Amino acid sequence: MTTFEVALGGPTDWGIDTSATTVFDFDYKGGRDQLLRLYDKGTRRQWIGSDRLDWSLDVDPEGPVGMPDELHPLFGTPWWDKMTDKERVEARRHLEAWRFSQFMHGEQGALICTAKIVQTVPDVDSKFYAATQVIDEARHVEVYSRYLYDKVQLVYPLNKNLESLLNDVIQDSRWDMTYLGMQVLIEGLALAAFGLIRNAATEPLAKALNAYVMQDEARHVTFGRIALRDYYPQLTQAERDEREEFCVDACYRMRDRFLGEEVWERLGLPQEASDYVEHSDLLRSFRNYLFTRIVPIIKDIGLWGPRITKAFTDMGVIEYAESDLDAEMANDEMAAEELDKKRMRHIEEVASQA
Ligand SMILES: [Fe+2]
Ligand SMILES: [Fe+2]
């Protein structure tokens, strides 16, 4: 097997100072039924990364994930047409390595944010649920990093836009801002991106990994929705406006997160190629698609004033407000269960042949 350079530079650690207050809740009996049911579900649905996923599958490090070329941002551009076969292999491999690396770093952000929620959220039922999510997020970091280091053998550092968003969310001392930034915005965006890979990837390990992570994420988004739907009506209009403003700014920043300039630079492409990709129809529809989950969630939690509706209208994603979130989440659960059934059938077949 060819040996690749694995980690592409970047710092080895990152510290963020925060002044958040750690809160005890002594009302042990005041739990909300819906949240306690979600906690019960989160506890029962735990899984082990090394058992549920088949790591013995061979993944070609030269063509990981197996996304169709038509979905590569460079596909159809003069730069793609000029590439040799070897250069196209690199273009595919670097794009997937970059994308999965941002998933992995984002998952570590989720791990840290959820641990922070355990400390700062005022209600014990939310602390219970968040505790199950902490282990989910640790598992997500584990499976993405294992896929990257063992299979793709190429890891990109944290993207600058994602870094600045994580910094703002973690630094903010208000518990609901951690939810809003992480559970609603970052996870909402990630869910859409994971979904694209789950549905379009042809490499079975990457497909299953994303499907199983999505099954957990569907619960996480529900957690954010329950907590914020209860809390936001209690705030003043000025406080809600401030949160809306934060969402508008974060959404614009996130739209710029998936441009992949680091990849084009690494591949030695000119700035012109990066600009071309940024304005291409494919990337525009991909960036819009990333908002399929965020828009209905923001509407659902009641941050639906003129600032946010104007921003979503300008971005061309306002129509997602009408999508059926519960149906999407049920579909995420079903997709993972289908894969489990398939896996069990395969295990039974192998056992019967032995
Ligand atoms: Fe996660
Ligand atoms: Fe999550």
SS (H, E, C) the chain: CCCCCCECCCCCCCCCCCCCCCCCCCCCCCCCHHHHHHHHHHHHCCCCHHHHCCCCCCCCCCCCCCCCHHHCCCCCCHHHHHCCHHHHHHHHHHHHHHHHHHHHHHHHHHHHHHHHHHHHCCCHHHHHHHHHHHHHHHHHHHHHHHHHHHHHCCECCCCHHHHHHHHHHHHCCCHHHHHHHHHHHHHHHHHHHHHHHHHHCCCHHHHHHHHHHHHHHHHHHHHHHHHHHHHHHHCCHHHHHHHHHHHHHHHHHHHCHHHCHHHHHHCCCCHHHHHHHHCCHHHHHHHHHCCCCHHHHHHHCCCCCHHHHHHHHHHCCHHHHHCCHHHHHHHHHHHHHHHHHHHHHHHHHHHHHC
CA atoms within 13 A on the CB side of 299: 18
CA of 215 from ligand 1 middle (Å) equals: 10
Ligand approaching nearest to the C-alpha of 194: 1
d(CA 121, CA 179): 10
d(CA 155, CA 22): 35
- Among 2-16, 49-63, 160-174, the least confident range: 2-16
Task: Report all structural domains of the chain as residue ranges with CATH numbers, in order of start.
Answer: 3-7+31-348 (1.10.620.20)
User: What is the pTM (predicted TM-score) of this model?
Assistant: 0.93
d(CA 205, CA 64): 10
What does the block give as tokens for 323? 């999508």
CA of 122 from ligand 2 middle (Å) equals: 20
CA of 96 from ligand 1 middle (Å) equals: 18
Residue 100: partners with Cβ closer than 8 Å, 6 or more residues away: 64, 65, 144, 147, 148, 152, 206
Asked if residue 90 has pLDDT above 90, the reply is yes
Asked if residue 346 has pLDDT above 90, the reply is no
What does the block give as tokens for 31? 């739990």
Ligand approaching nearest to the C-alpha of 183: 2
Ligand approaching nearest to the C-alpha of 220: 2
Closest to 180 (Cα-Cα) out of 257, 240, 138: 240
Instruction: Please give the pLDDT value at position 1.
Output: 43
CB distance 250 to 181 below 8 Å: yes
CA of 190 from ligand 2 middle (Å) equals: 9
Q: Which residues surround ligand 2, an ion (CB under 5 A)?
A: 110, 187, 217, 220
CA of 54 from ligand 2 middle (Å) equals: 22
CA of 217 from ligand 1 middle (Å) equals: 6
pLDDT band at 2 (very low <50, low <70, confident <90, very high): very low
CA of 126 from ligand 1 middle (Å) equals: 17
Instruction: Please give the pLDDT value at position 5.
Output: 60
CA of 281 from ligand 1 middle (Å) equals: 29
Where do we find the tokens 């979600």?
38
CA of 6 from ligand 2 middle (Å) equals: 26
Instruction: Please give the pLDDT value at position 257.
Output: 61
d(CA 347, CA 333): 21
Asked if residue 87 has pLDDT above 60, the reply is yes
CA of 110 from ligand 1 middle (Å) equals: 6
CA of 217 from ligand 2 middle (Å) equals: 5
Burial string for 79-94 (b: 16+ CB within 10 Å, else e) reads bbeebeeeebebbbbb
CA of 1 from ligand 2 middle (Å) equals: 34
CA of 280 from ligand 2 middle (Å) equals: 30
Mean pLDDT (whole number) for 211-217: 94
Ligand approaching nearest to the C-alpha of 188: 2
What does the block give as tokens for 342? 């398939």
CA of 238 from ligand 2 middle (Å) equals: 29
CB distance 31 to 125 below 8 Å: yes
More confident: 219 or 256: 219
pLDDT band at 50 (very low <50, low <70, confident <90, very high): very high
CA of 177 from ligand 2 middle (Å) equals: 15
CA angle 39, 131, 216 (to 5 degrees): 60
CA of 300 from ligand 2 middle (Å) equals: 18
d(CA 106, CA 147): 15
Instruction: Please give the pLDDT value at position 254.
Output: 84
Asked if residue 261 has pLDDT above 90, the reply is no
CA of 75 from ligand 1 middle (Å) equals: 30
Asked if residue 4 has pLDDT above 60, the reply is no
CA of 205 from ligand 1 middle (Å) equals: 17
On the 0-12 / 13-18 / 19+ scale of CB atoms within 10 A, 238 is exposed
CA of 211 from ligand 2 middle (Å) equals: 13
CA of 169 from ligand 2 middle (Å) equals: 15
CA of 72 from ligand 1 middle (Å) equals: 24
CA of 42 from ligand 2 middle (Å) equals: 12
Asked if residue 54 has pLDDT above 90, the reply is yes
Beta bridge partners of 33: none
Instruction: Please give the pLDDT value at position 59.
Output: 92
pLDDT band at 3 (very low <50, low <70, confident <90, very high): very low
What does the block give as tokens for 266? 């690494």
Residue 11: partners with Cβ closer than 8 Å, 6 or more residues away: 157
